[in-house]
Amino acid sequence: MTSGRHAAGLHRSRELAEPQSWEIEVAPVPAQNGAHVGYRPEAGWVEGIRCRNGHFCHPSAQYCTTCGSSMLQLAAVRVLDRRPPLGVLVVDDGTIVPLDVDLVIGSDPSEDDSVRFGIAGSLALAGSAGAGLADVHCDLRLRGWNVLIRDRGTEAGTFLGQPNQSWARVSDRERTQVLPGCAIRIGGRELRFESRHAPLPEHAA
């Protein structure tokens, strides 16, 4: 009998059936303004398609973001695979963080429950006195191929700068989608989200 997952046309990649480690090399940064990438869990599984060269791609991609080959003439057979980085966070000190797992950001995010229980990764930022950077300031959640942000109830707030738009305060109750080119401002620090993947239209709550 065919399983429900295979009946729906979803196939888990054999070469990624075993857990993999995800290592990040972070260049040295000034101590007074540094960013530190802490614990990172394994990337989750998402649904996508493969190009003719076997690269795992966004399910509605017209061209492969790895090799540039056209997807238009291929039969769209959907598969399940480890989520590739949906882009990168570029911190204002030059630190680059691939976004392939959920991320908690603040001056000391290591004590957040989602980090302690191995659900999310952590990004610690140094902040100047009085800048309003909380220990756990905001978090990024990856839902499918989309990146969503939520403030964690901070007094100073989290602000999102959409491309060609003014800064808007992020809610601490509902998640807001972060589009490629968006900037995030927290506690006097700024991060920019860069991605080659087009986001899927879905509700960001």
| pLDDT tens-digit map of 99-148 | 999 999 999 999 899 999 999 999 999 876 567 999 999 999 999 999 99
**CB environment 35-63: b (16+ within 10 A), e (fewer):** bebeebbebeebbbbbbeeebbbbeebee
Tokens 């990649």 correspond to: 13
Q: What is the pLDDT of residue 201?
A: 54
Q: What is the pLDDT of residue 199?
A: 62
In this structure, are residues 193 and 180 in contact, taking their beta carbons and an 8 Å threshold? yes
Q: What is the pLDDT of residue 26?
A: 40
Q: Give me the residue spans of the domains in the chain.
A: 32-41+85-194
How far, in Å, CA of 109 to CA of 124, rounded? 6
Who contacts 40 (Cβ-Cβ below 8 Å, separation ≥6)? Answer: 22, 24, 101, 121, 122
**CB environment 102-119: b (16+ within 10 A), e (fewer):** bbbbbbbbeebebbeeee
The mean predicted confidence, pLDDT, of the chain is 80
pLDDT tens digits, 43-60 = 889 999 998 888 898 888
Query: Which residues partner with 56 through β-bridges?
Result: 50
CATH match of 32-41+85-194 with 3.20.20.140: no
pLDDT at position 22 over 90:
no
